Structure 1
């Protein structure tokens, strides 16, 4: 069974990061507001990025890590720009 970390763009331009074991169902829940919470008040939402992981713990760890990132770093991840992610990580370390 695969687990996923994902990033959604909300109607207000903000990003929402989560994790799940059923990406299609979870995105559908977000899109209808059935998941409640943050995204339900910011519809519609668009799936921008997802990655599968072998365990729930790894997907959850990725979610938590990404939630701590700057907007610029999240946008680099969405674009698949690993050089930019690395550069932003170095800049943050001082």
Structure 2
């Protein structure tokens, strides 16, 4: 059975300048959850301020893989990834 669901990897900028990478089927709704304190444990204390990046995937596996790879990089590597995608991550 085919599905029309799209999956997204996204990156948020938090108030302290840190990044949060996540996975969802609805980036806007998930961002609102994070902002209201009902998202991940990390964003409850780091307070996301904007969506920096989102990428659509056809499969859940591919979106989760992108999230995993981003989360397991060093800060300089995350910044390089964002710069390569023309993302301004200044506060």
State whether TM-score is above 0.5: yes
User: Quick one: structure 1 residues 36 and 64, their matched pair in 2 at CA, closer, same or farther if it must change by over 3 Å?
Assistant: closer
Extract unaligned runs of 5+ from structure 1: 83-94
Higher helix share: 1
Q: TM-score, normalised by structure 1?
A: 0.77
Extract unaligned runs of 5+ from structure 2: 87-91
Root-mean-square deviation (CA, aligned residues, Å) is 1.7
Q: TM-score, normalised by structure 2?
A: 0.79
Match of 2:14 in 1: 10
Return the offset for 1:36.
4.4
Count of aligned pairs between the two proteins: 82
Runs of 4+ in 1 over 4 A off after TM superposition: none
Higher RCO (C-alpha 8 Å, min separation 6): 2
Match of 2:77 in 1: 73
- Computing the radius of gyration from Cα coordinates, the structure with the larger value is 1
Out of 28, 33, 41, which is 1:24 matched to?
28
Contact 2:12 2:48 in 1 (8 A): no
Higher strand share: 2
